[in-house]
Chain A
Amino acid sequence: MLQRVSSKSLIKGKQWFAIAGIIIACLIPLLVKNPYQLDLVIWIFLSTIFATSIYQIATVNRILFGVSAFIGIGSYISTLLVMHGVSFWGALPLSGLASAGIALLIGYPLLRISGIYFAIVTWSLAEVLVTVYKNAPGFGGIQGFHDIPGPMVFGQEFAGPVPYFYLALGLMAITILFFYRLKKSRFGQDLKLIGSSDVLASALGIKVSRYRLICFAMACFFIGMGGSFYAHYLSYIEPTRFGIALSSQMFAFSVIGGLGNLWGGLVGSTAMILIPEGLHAFEYIRQVIYGAVVVFVMVFMPGGIISIPEKIRLWRKGRAQPLTKAT
């Protein structure tokens, strides 16, 4: 009883880790002065937002393979809003909301579809949107948009990678914290139940399709905000950026980290951005290595990188057992 009270009032061990992690992350720009390396870390944070959102949708048994559809929606809406005089700080949440709104609209008919069909449906959506951006009037055509202004603070535009670094870190922290709190909530437990069995969940009175739709829209909200950041950080967007390549990259990050774990997205993004980087190879060779790592992980650890400690624990336990039996 005492323990329960204290664990509620105090910060628990795991949360200390998270806070320590954020503090260390905040110090990175002081240690890393090289803008190129800082840029890599910003991409890790941004990819984590997308990969973690893919994880969140996977908890209700849906594979968002075409994540670039929603990244694109966020990017384009944010760019269009800023071009029409809205401040970045207004456009950021609005593009998240727009992405969530579109997710609600199309999720209603499409979330009924499961398994590989849903993966392909979201991929199709991304390809259709790319064609829309290229051809529909008002989306900048095949060239897209250039010179997208950065966020303004006190009348000053973001200069250099450091402010973007903190913005990306903040967005990533909010995303992970939100999904962490969600996981611990009653709603999150219901979602987990839906993930294990639709039939069981609905037998227990959970409104399966509604809950799944809300979960999908929540994840798409964060993806849309990430998309907004993406546009303003790059300062240009073009339709072909939101095709299959971006989707499959983000999807691979989340699976390689571990699709069954909230931290999988962070682990996967970090590993898959830093490993090819550390090898100092040319672009194509780097991509070849990247592909090989994906294959390796899938063949030898289907649970992703994050499953390694668990595997080691099981392996040691498995070795220990015969010994205890013998004695």
Chain B
Amino acid sequence: MELFPQALVSGLESGCLYILVALGLTLILGIMKTVNFAHGEFVMLGAYFTFYFYSGTDMNYPVAFLLTLVTMFGLGFALDKALFRPVRGNMLAGFILTLGISIFLLNLGFIVFGTKSRGISGVFSGLVELGSVHTSVERIATSAIALSLMAVLLLIIYRTKLGRAFRAVAIDSEAAQLQGVNTSMISSLCLAISLILAGAAGGLLGVVFNVYPTMGTRATGLAFVIIVTGGLGSVPGAILAALVIGLVESLVSTYIGGDISWGVIFLVALLTIAFKPKGLLGRN
């Protein structure tokens, strides 16, 4: 029983990072109706950008992190103009296109970054003890950053004019266009924000775990499991499901074994689709 609170805390800490991983994917799916299979590769890119900005130069971590977000924003904007535009609205074509992008980036990652696993180290130090639960400053800080980015995103979506345009395009792109929403600008911004979230997730995951080219494959899997469990395109659903999946993963790793947890979270996704296809927070 002593393990339980520990598993709970580390599950929630992972869950906070998973929120960022999943939010970007659910955003682009909900608003642009594009299934971004390369999402995890953008997480990987974000992690490497942060790693090189932080370790390659003498920038401090916050600056490196912000610079990563700016780079990802630019990349997202450019990618939308160059590649995502022709497949917008066509889920299948978007799926294959991003599948190609994912294969491209993953292997480019092997070539450019090498297969060696790296870490963004020495950013936060110190351990924290809360009763019987042990955790680190690193994990608490990254969770806090993740949650505050999430809060910023929620504010943008639900409290600004831009957010209203996002929601309008999500409901009906054509009607939104007729009301004067610049849908092509919205779509570019949407991918850019999605990539910022992916980059942020990468920058934070790199601090807690390692940075390696195949980390994106794992992130893509996680992100899809989460958004399916939460309901495709649903922002609150993705947040709830990220925490649930983080907990499930942590509990399974603690009580059964780490190598089973990957299969178990996919089983969660499978059962969710089979019995509640609209996800945890979707209306059936």
Where the two chains meet, the residues of A that have a C-beta atom closer than 8 Å to any C-beta of B are 63, 109-110, 113, 115-117, 119-121, 123-125, 127-128, 130-132, 134-135, 142, 244, 248, 251-252, 255-256, 259, 284-285, 287-288, 290-299, 302
Instruction: Check A124 against B277 for contact (C-beta < 8 Å).
Output: no
In the complex, A9→B247 CA distance in Å? 66
In the complex, A293→B90 CA distance in Å? 19
Question: Which one of A120, A297, A298 contacts B224 once the chains associate, using CB atoms below 8 Å?
Answer: A120
The residues of B that contact A297 with a CB separation of less than 8 Å are 100
Instruction: Check A284 against B221 for contact (C-beta < 8 Å).
Output: no
Instruction: Check A124 against B91 for contact (C-beta < 8 Å).
Output: no
By beta carbon, the residue of chain B nearest A125 is B270
Nearest chain B CB to A212 CB, angstrom units: 16
Instruction: Check A302 against B277 for contact (C-beta < 8 Å).
Output: no
In the complex, A306→B262 CA distance in Å? 38
Nearest chain B CB to A302 CB, angstrom units: 5
Q: Given the known A-B contacts A244-B221, A291-B101, are A298 and B107 also in contact in the complex, defined by CB atoms under 8 Å?
A: no
Nearest chain B CB to A276 CB, angstrom units: 11
Q: Per DSSP, are chain B's interface residues mostly helix, strand or loop, or mixed? A: helix
By beta carbon, the residue of chain B nearest A65 is B95
Instruction: Check B103 against A128 for contact (C-beta < 8 Å).
Output: no
Nearest chain B CB to A218 CB, angstrom units: 22
Question: Which one of A131, A251, A287, A288 contacts B260 once the chains associate, using CB atoms below 8 Å?
Answer: A131
In the complex, A292→B110 CA distance in Å? 15
Instruction: Check A295 against B97 for contact (C-beta < 8 Å).
Output: yes
In the complex, A110→B270 CA distance in Å? 9
5 A-B pairs besides A120-B224, A128-B263 with CB distance below 8 A are A113-B274, A287-B103, A287-B106, A295-B100, A296-B100
Instruction: Check A127 against B266 for contact (C-beta < 8 Å).
Output: yes
* Chain B interface residue bracket vs A: 35 or more
Q: Does B267 contact A (CB under 8 A)?
A: yes
Instruction: Check A294 against B103 for contact (C-beta < 8 Å).
Output: yes
Q: Given the known A-B contacts A252-B96, A285-B111, A287-B107, are A131 and B269 also in contact in the complex, defined by CB atoms under 8 Å?
A: no
Closest 9 CB pairs of A and B: A131-B263, A294-B100, A291-B104, A291-B103, A287-B107, A295-B100, A127-B266, A298-B97, A124-B270
The residues of A that contact B103 with a CB separation of less than 8 Å are 248, 252, 287-288, 290-291, 294
Instruction: Check B99 against A248 for contact (C-beta < 8 Å).
Output: yes
The residues of A that contact B274 with a CB separation of less than 8 Å are 109-110, 113, 121
Q: Given the known A-B contacts A284-B107, A287-B107, A290-B103, are A123 and B97 also in contact in the complex, defined by CB atoms under 8 Å?
A: no
Question: Which one of A63, A119, A295 contacts B104 once the chains associate, using CB atoms below 8 Å?
Answer: A295
B:175-232 near A, CB below 8 Å: 217, 221, 224-225, 228, 232
Q: Given the known A-B contacts A117-B228, A128-B270, A284-B111, are A299 and B101 also in contact in the complex, defined by CB atoms under 8 Å?
A: no
Instruction: Check A291 against B105 for contact (C-beta < 8 Å).
Output: yes
15 A–B contact pairs at CB < 8 A? A109-B274, A116-B35, A120-B228, A123-B266, A127-B263, A131-B262, A131-B266, A135-B263, A255-B96, A287-B103, A287-B107, A288-B111, A291-B102, A292-B100, A294-B99
Q: B37, B225, B263 — which one has the most chain A CB atoms within 10 A of its CB?
A: B263
Instruction: Check A295 against B95 for contact (C-beta < 8 Å).
Output: no
Instruction: Check B107 against A113 for contact (C-beta < 8 Å).
Output: no
B:107-152 near A, CB below 8 Å: 107-108, 110-111
Q: A63, A116, A296 — which one has the most chain B CB atoms within 10 A of its CB?
A: A116
The residues of B that contact A292 with a CB separation of less than 8 Å are 100, 104
Q: Does B259 contact A (CB under 8 A)?
A: yes
By beta carbon, the residue of chain B nearest A256 is B96
Instruction: Check B267 against A252 for contact (C-beta < 8 Å).
Output: no
Instruction: Check A120 against B269 for contact (C-beta < 8 Å).
Output: yes
In the complex, A117→B225 CA distance in Å? 11
B232-259 vs A: 1/0 string, CB under 8 Å? Answer: 1000000000000000000000000101
In the complex, A132→B260 CA distance in Å? 8
Instruction: Check B259 against A135 for contact (C-beta < 8 Å).
Output: yes
The residues of B that contact A284 with a CB separation of less than 8 Å are 107-108, 110-111
Instruction: Check B107 against A124 for contact (C-beta < 8 Å).
Output: no
Nearest chain B CB to A283 CB, angstrom units: 8
Nearest chain B CB to A261 CB, angstrom units: 15
Q: B37, B99, B101, B267 — which one has the most chain A CB atoms within 10 A of its CB?
A: B99
